Every structure is written in structure tokens, then in C-alpha cells.
Structure 1
């Protein structure tokens, strides 16, 4: 039986609360004036905040209607899922520390060399949209699936000499998690500085019992926007979905894999878990280091001794930001999306989809595209571009899985080929344009990754790992079922209803 996810439990709690309030309304006459007043006042107050919130007009209108017509439940749903979290407690420290840090490392930022820009003009375009400069001396290695990634990570951790920075959205407490934790503890006991950052909601199962051995070994530990309890969370949006490891300022990892046994195919329901990660060496690691430090400074507290100067004063800057050019083909570039600030990854995707001449290949566990990306995919399909999308054969999220399947008929009408991965679950977040330009990172092809989460992705231009990615796509196609009209016609009315119902909640999934 499918285990209800956190958001479903929260929905049930809201329904129970609504029934309770209605019961009070009809059973206690003295509360009627109070409830009527609240039903008028709450929509006015919440509606005022919604009106001036920086969200898309469609979402703003939907929330306003929900709050006006179901005032108590609508307001509670907006507080849980819709609002922009106010971070008054940390904003002063955060803004000051990060501003000083950015000033100190300005000279360390990557600048796109003229020869790189001449060879790959899109690097300049993406830079104008918010990406970092593009580097032509960073080597990349594609890691397909959990075994390759975890083996490489543990090996590099064991060889670290100065520092290890670890940041994950989801870090479990199972066998592989303990193995990596213990490797970090061992290096910290041997005088390597270790910093461990996890998302407070994504890594909700992490307990003090798991963290205490880290702290006892002098590992610095912080939670990004910690929560009191997953069912009582009031900032479910704007989570840090990035996965990042930086070792000695020379090696970095990012991609789709979190840390947990399911990424090694040990999930009872999903079985084999197909994913993609990236290992980098070279100057672009400096930009990934910058990203980690900014997240680390944000997560710190007012009395924290981990200040900007520990990373970027004259003594420490050469230890953390290293110029280490590597023999490499092509170029690499970092794109980062921060909710409420920018949509760099979305804009980068729009640019790449518009520039495609021959093919657009995508793997994503959640195909819930915003309207602008959906329209570009449809136009590309009608233009005769070879558009192929690989999605899971089984889903880890009930709502997202059925919302994804809602789009199949619409995409097939535009000559877009949809593949359902036949080896259970695919979690890779990759895009390959014309076989020459690739994106590998943490961002899914959905609303949440484009607008609501902190995300990151690496753009690559004719690097050696692009051929590896091309081969991985071909293998995924072979191991997938190509969706055709005969399959869609067999859908029952109940299945169509479930898909349409889940599609309504697409912006929240």
C-alpha cells in the first residue's frame, strides 16, 4: 500500500480542522459571531499579502479564490504551501556576511575567456541571464547510478587533506549514509575541516543521535531552514534542493543523487534506481565553493563563529579558492536558481530549447513543466526537432507520477516521444541539446524546481562527458517503453480522473 506523503497528511489535517470548525459553528452559538468575523477578516489579511507576493498571476489568482471561498482552509493552505517565508531572524546577519564574502572573492569569480565565448556564443547569453562565467579548463566525469557516485565520493573523502564541504537536500540515516558519515568523522579526527549542511525539511529523519558523533568529532553541522516537525512546517516551499560536495577546493560533485540506500537500488517498491551525477575538477569548482559558502553563511546563527573571513580573508582565501586548471575539452558553466530572486535555470532552459536545431533529449523524474517550457517543447516537436523525454516507469510520489502522465497525450500530439523507464525509477535530471550541449544537475522539469526551490545545474559545451551522456540516453531509450496512442486509449475513466485531479495541484508538486 502506498505510504501517504507529508503533503497528503497536511491536507488531511486541514480537512479535519475544517470539519472541527464547522462543528463548532453549528454546536456553539456563542462562537458564531467570532467565526463570522474571522471568516471576513482572515481573507482580507491573507489576501493583502497574496496580492503583493512575487508569484505568477495564475497562482496568485488561485490562492485568492481559495482564501475567499474557503477562508480557514484556504488561509492555512497558503501559509503551508504558498507564501514566501519571512526570514527576519537571520536576514541581517545573512545579508551582511554574504555581502562581505562576495566582495572578498570578487576577483576569484570565473570570467569567460574570449576564445571560449567565440567557440560557444551561448555562454555569453547564459551569463547575461545570471549564470557564472564559462570555464574551458574544468574536467567533468559522468557518474551513472549510485554505485559509481558513492564509490568515487568515499575515495575522494578519504584522500582529503584540508577541508570537506557536504550539502544535501536529503541525507538519510541508513547503511550508505552511516558509511559516508563515518568517513567524514575519520577525516575530521585527522584534522581535516568538515562542514555538513542539510535541508531541514528534506533531511527530516536526521536525529541528534545521528548528528552527535559528527559534532563530537568537531564536524561543523548546520540545517538549512530547520523545521520543528514535518507535519507542522510553515515553509514547505523554498527548500534547498541542491546536492553538492567540495573537497579541498579542487574536486566537486553535483547531480541528482542524494544520500540513501534507495539510490543503490535497495528501495522495496522502486527497486533499481537510475540516476546521474557529475564529478568536476578545475576552476569552476571555485563557483561551486562560493555557492556552498553562501548557503553555509545563511544557515548559521548570530553567535556562530563561522564567519565570512574564515573562507575569504587574505590567509584563508588561497586555501578555499584554488586556481587548478585541468586538461579539458569544451567548456562548463554553473546555473543557480534562488526562489524569489531569479529564474536562471528556467531562462537557461528556454534559451537552449529555442536554440535547438536537431534534438532535445530530457530525463526527469517529474514532468510537470511550466506553461512557457511546455509551449517550447510543443513548438520544437512541430518544427521537426527530435524531442524525447524519459520519465519513470514507477513513481516515488503518487501525485507527481499521475500529474506527469497527464501530459502524455498533449505531448504525443506534438510529435514528442515519451519513454517510460522500464527498470522501475529514473531520477536523473539531464538535458542534451543537439548532442553538443548538456545540463546535469539537481533541477527537475517542474514548477517546484523552476520557481520554488534552490537548485543548481552544470551546463556543458562539447565536453568529454557529453559523449558519455549521449550513450547513457541511448541505453535509457533501449530500456524504456515508448508510449503510443494504443496505450493511451486503454486508460480507464478513473485513471484519467486521477491524472486530471493531480494536474490541478501541479504548481505545488
Structure 2
């Protein structure tokens, strides 16, 4: 008995030292304390792999150089296309403040006159993306959380091999955790013909440096520096509805043509140089062929914003909060994971209580049990505050979209949860175009035809056991 008590005291002391020696928010601190105290040994093993913070000293050293040269190219781009008033010049003062915020926190310039196409079906997306890759003549840069060794994965790999063999520069970054089951030897045919492939930040330091908890959740494709893709889809058969567990996969992705691709290209280059030290992009002079001037005159102004554990600013979360605070009439959100921190939760509650039409659409099935139960917990709480909660029934909804007043919107990789705000490397497009915003509203309304409004009364009918699982999962929400 005495030995047991000594072990408990030592474990608690070690837990205190372990958790409080690193600066983190209080919610995550107490969540880890709960794990370490209640799960001796096992909790410390989990912390060793997924609890430690990310060292930032060697991350993304090209940030300043890329920003300076991008500003030069942007000035040239504006001169080429002219200076006529664009929709983003006529937006409200509050949105201009958001544009300025992103410029300040993420050096995210306002890219004007883009052409943007929205994809909600994987078959359409990959068909178009592969056509663009087929037409590439200079460079193909791909970064995905998931790149599976399955049918669509092999189709894209074979196309990349073909293009690399023809002399096109091909570089691929994949997340080793998100692409679990895909080993680097899968990419050997591409590397054999001159392509370059790397797991994000490498794998040799996965435990000591990278830390398994910090994942490259970004989805970036740039082709010849002229065409770019960003959104929620990954590369895998399940994203084409080929997995019975999920059924039809409903996601949202963007194809961008115009100066908005500059930021996607820059983000890829920063991530590449943090990952591959053997074949880096030049850190003194960025080759302008990666940032060709566009002759496109589209209607869409946007900012590409990235965030991750290499910064404490949580830029995308700040953008989400600004969107919520900007709403005057409607705020429609689609997210597979709804685990907001207190600041975002309060913003959503305030919006609903102020009479704004707040709607949130989530899946009706889990892909991660704990995460889904926590999502249900917050959905129930928000429903009590007047938010309309919809369960999507036609397969699995994985879209990460926000539309405000049919005026402005966000589409990208970041979910409405702690992990996307603080732990993952994410990227979103913030769009200032009523045409795109209205189109996203129309997509939301179509999805409502396949969804069910879950009222507070329906939440109350859930079993006590289900409510217990939701509450228990919520306790771990800061570290899920």
C-alpha cells in the first residue's frame, strides 16, 4: 500500500513538472494533467509522442525573403492588369480590417482578379486536377495530408512519373501520419525519374523534433505557378466515395487561377525548405518562373492564410472569429469536427443570441470516435443557444467552409476545432466575392436537403450513456 501511495505521489509530481514546464493554454494544461495523473506510465508515453511542443528555431527560414519578392511580383502584377476598382475595394470597413489583420499576422497579401471554381465532388476535382497536371510544362508542386497507395493515388503517381520523365520539376510533400500505410518506397518510381518526394519535416526526427501531434494538414497543388488548388480533399479512394464506411464523400475544394496562386506557391516553398535540406529552393533569390505574371482578369479577390504550431498567433482561428463577428444577417458553417475553444464558442453564441441566422452542418457519423462525441457535445450546447445544427445524412461531410451574409467566405483545410487552431499546419482561402459567397450558400442549401435539423428537444432525447460519452470526450477536447 505504501509503495502504491509513493508511486501516485511521484507520478503526480512528475505530471506537474512535465505539463507546466511548457507554455500552453490552461485548457490543454489541465487536459494533459488529467491524462498523466489518471493514466500513469501510459499517459507519459502518450505525452512523449503527442504532447510536447514544437521547436521553432529552424522552421521556415525563407519567410522574409519570400515575402519581399512576392511583394515585388504583386506590384508588377497590378501594373499588368491595371488598377481599376475591384470588388474588394468596395467591401465594408470591417472586412478591410480583416484584410489588414491577415497582412499583419501572416504577410497575406490581397490577391485580386482571380478566377475561382468550386468543387464539391471528388471525381470532378481529380479529373480537372489531372488535366491541369497533364498540361504542366515547368513545375508541379503537391502537398497533402493524405496521399494513399490506392487506385487514385497510383493514378496520380503514374501521371507525376510521366511528367517528371518529360523534364517537369515535380516535388511532393506528404504527411506520414495522415498517409499511414504509404511508405516512401511507394514514390520510388517518381524519384527514379528525377522527382523529389519527402514526408513533412522528415521522419528521422519524428519523435525527438517533429512530434507526432503536429500534422501537415494542408492541401496544396500548384502547377506552373499559374493554377492552384486548396481545400478539404486529400488523395485517396475514400475521397471518391469508394469506402463503404463513409459512403459518398462531400467536401469543398477550390481551383484558383491568378495571383492567388502566388501565396500557395510561397507556402509550398517554405514548407519544402523546412523539410528537404538536400534540394532546397534558393534562399537568396527566388526564381521568378515559380511566380509568373498572370493575364487573368477574374472577379475574385482573396487572401491565402496559413497557420500552424510554428506561430502562436493562430491566424486562421483569428480569421474565423473575425468572420463570425462581422456577420450581420447570416453565418453558415460546414465542418466535420466542431470542438471550438472558449473564445470561438462565445463568438458563436453571441452571434446566435444577437439574432443572426447561425447554421452549422456536421456529419451524422464518426470517423474518429472521441472527436465525434466531443463534436456532439458542442453541437448540443450550441443548439441550446439558438444555433441551428444540421446532421448531414448523405455520406460523410468533410467540407470546411464559412459563408457570411452571402458576401464573404472561407474555404480550406482548417476545421472548427482545437487541433486545426493550434496543432496542425493549415491553409485557407478567405474570399471577398459575393458571387463565390452566394454559390457557397447555394451549395449549403442543397446539402440541407440531405440533412436533418437537430433541435434541443432531439438532443434531450439522447440516452444518458451517449451524453456521458459526449461529456467525457469533451474533457479531452483541448488535446484531441
Is the structural similarity TM-score above 0.5? yes
Query: For residues 344-363 of structure 1, what are the structure 2 equivalents within 5 Å?
Result: 344-363=315-334
- Name the structure 1 match of 2:195: 219
1:407 correspondence with 2:378 = yes
Q: CA deviation at 1:225?
A: 3.1
Whether contact under 8 Å (1:167, 1:196) holds in the other structure is yes
After superposition, the C-alpha distances for 1:260-304 in whole angstroms (9 at most, x for unaligned) are: 000111111111111110000111111111000000000013xx1
User: Taking structure 1 as reference, are residues 208 and 349 closer, same or farther at Cα in structure 2, changes over 3 Å only?
Assistant: closer
**SS at the partner of 2:332?**
strand
1:259 correspondence with 2:232 = no
User: Taking structure 1 as reference, are residues 492 and 271 closer, same or farther at Cα in structure 2, changes over 3 Å only?
Assistant: same
1:178 correspondence with 2:151 = no
- In the alignment, which of 44, 47, 55 is matched to residue 86 of structure 1? 55
User: In the comparison of the two structures, how many residue pairs are matched?
Assistant: 468
Query: For residues 158-197 of structure 1, what are the structure 2 equivalents within 5 Å?
Result: 158-197=134-173
- In the alignment, which of 278, 286, 290 is matched to residue 254 of structure 2? 278
**SS at the partner of 1:298?**
helix
Structure 2, unmatched stretches of 5+, are none
- Name the structure 2 match of 1:488: 459
1:244 correspondence with 2:213 = no
Measure the CA separation in 2 of the matches of 1:409 and 1:265: 29
- Name the structure 2 match of 1:336: 306
What's the C-alpha RMSD, in Å, of the aligned pairs?
Answer: 2.9
- In the alignment, which of 281, 284, 290 is matched to residue 320 of structure 1? 290
- In the alignment, which of 251, 272, 275 is matched to residue 296 of structure 1? 272
Measure the CA separation in 2 of the matches of 1:140 and 1:402: 35
- In the alignment, which of 125, 128, 142 is matched to residue 118 of structure 2? 142
Measure the CA separation in 1 of the matches of 2:99 and 2:212: 29
Measure the CA separation in 1 of the matches of 2:310 and 2:69: 25
Measure the CA separation in 1 of the matches of 2:63 and 2:388: 44
- Name the structure 2 match of 1:364: 335
- Name the structure 1 match of 2:437: 466
- Name the structure 2 match of 1:125: 98
Q: CA deviation at 1:232?
A: 11
- In the alignment, which of 12, 19, 25 is matched to residue 56 of structure 1? 25
After superposition, the C-alpha distances for 1:203-251 in whole angstroms (9 at most, x for unaligned) are: 1221243111111121111111344799999712221100000000000
User: Taking structure 1 as reference, are residues 354 and 195 closer, same or farther at Cα in structure 2, changes over 3 Å only?
Assistant: same
Whether contact under 8 Å (1:140, 1:464) holds in the other structure is no
User: Taking structure 1 as reference, are residues 463 and 248 closer, same or farther at Cα in structure 2, changes over 3 Å only?
Assistant: farther
Measure the CA separation in 2 of the matches of 1:106 and 1:118: 19
1:156 correspondence with 2:132 = yes
User: Taking structure 1 as reference, are residues 386 and 95 closer, same or farther at Cα in structure 2, changes over 3 Å only?
Assistant: closer
- In the alignment, which of 475, 483, 489 is matched to residue 446 of structure 2? 475
Measure the CA separation in 2 of the matches of 1:466 and 1:95: 32
Measure the CA separation in 2 of the matches of 1:230 and 1:52: 21
- In the alignment, which of 354, 362, 375 is matched to residue 346 of structure 2? 375
- Name the structure 2 match of 1:308: 282
Q: CA deviation at 1:453?
A: 0.7
Structure 1, unmatched stretches of 5+, are 1-24, 27-31
Whether contact under 8 Å (1:172, 1:206) holds in the other structure is yes
1:209 correspondence with 2:180 = no
Measure the CA separation in 2 of the matches of 1:184 and 1:391: 35
Larger radius of gyration: 1
Measure the CA separation in 2 of the matches of 1:230 and 1:86: 12
After superposition, the C-alpha distances for 1:471-502 in whole angstroms (9 at most, x for unaligned) are: 11110111101112442233111111111121
**SS at the partner of 2:462?**
coil
Measure the CA separation in 2 of the matches of 1:459 and 1:502: 31
Q: CA deviation at 1:350?
A: 1.0
Whether contact under 8 Å (1:198, 1:222) holds in the other structure is yes
